Amino acid sequence: MSNRPTTTRTAQEPTSKVGAAPAPTALPHIREPQRIAPAEARELTKLFLWRLDALEEGTREYPYVRDTLVEMNLPLVRYVARRFASRRDSTEDMLQVGTIGLIKAIDRFDVSRGVEFTTLAVPYIQGEIQRLFRDTTWSVHVPRRLQELRTDLARARERLEAQGVHEPSVTALAAHLERDEAEVAEGVVAANGYHSDSIDRPIEASGSPQQTGFVADLMGTEDPALALAENIQALKPHLAELDDRDRTLLELRFGAEMTQAEIGEELGMSQMHVSRLLARTCAHLREEILATS
């Protein structure tokens, strides 16, 4: 006995759309669409696509025709996914997004153009799988234009290295791609976000399995003096706007490091008055810096 899926023909009313070729009046009822041989699947796909084109969405027959088309062409999704077998992504994930591409191809296929369904389906399936890579394989999210630029840069680097250019510069890459150097430089920096590594990863000595430390040990820390230098630069224009008395108070308190009592004796003021003036001046400077930051 043959193991091929059995089909039965079911009479249907012709409901072809305006401008389309006459839709078939009967379709096979396929019990196991995924087990159909490739050659027969191609022929049945043509038949079902014509019928789907003639049906209005929401009719009783529409879901059967559309779902059968999807199931018959799932082997095409697996075929395209195998091209990306070397990627780290799950095969199941690729099949799922590839099926989305297949459904889009079915819904957008124009049977009246007379082209093979695979000419539209394969690019749609491949496009969805590549979109999966763009959205999930980058360790750091970057704009899509930079993700695509990374691919162009990788190809350009390979071609230039094949021509004997060792470690192509940004200028060489920009000239090869006929792009602006600033854009290429941005793409080179963004490409660093494609892969990430743990700072707890151990470092091994060159040519030796002996561990020499961790990646975190090579990372610098923030220098508090840098923040202080930034704050001083931010203060300068606001200090220049103060009157002579307020600047003198600040210089004696924070420059000469005098106490409020010593400042009072120096300027002939009470300690309380010095305290109020310093508090008011510092509050004013703080507000000015926050307003411009």
β-bridge mates for residue 8, sequence order: 29
- The distance of Cα 25 from the centroid of its chain, to the nearest Å, equals 47
Q: What is the pLDDT of residue 13?
A: 42
pTM above 0.75, yes or no: no
β-bridge mates for residue 150, sequence order: none
Q: Which residues contact 104 (CB under 8 A, 6 or more apart)?
A: 124, 128
Tens digit of each residue's pLDDT (9 = 90 or more) over 89-119? 577 888 888 999 999 999 999 988 888 999 9
Percent of the chain residues past pLDDT 70, beyond the cut: 73
- pLDDT over 50 (residue 227): yes
Tens digit of each residue's pLDDT (9 = 90 or more) over 118-156? 999 999 998 888 877 766 555 555 666 766 777 788 888
* Mean pLDDT value across residues 28-40: 82
Higher pLDDT, 196 or 113: 113
Considering only CA atoms, which of 63, 69, 136 is closest in space to residue 97?
136
Please tell me the distance from the alpha carbon of residue 270 to that of residue 76, in angstroms, as a whole number: 90
User: Among the ranges 121-135, 178-192, 275-289, which has the highest mean pLDDT value?
Assistant: 275-289
- pLDDT over 60 (residue 18): no
If phi > 0 it is left, if psi is from -120 to 50 it is alpha, else beta; for residue 95 that is: alpha
Asked if residues 33 and 76 have their Cβ atoms less than 8 Å apart, the reply is no
β-bridge mates for residue 27, sequence order: 10
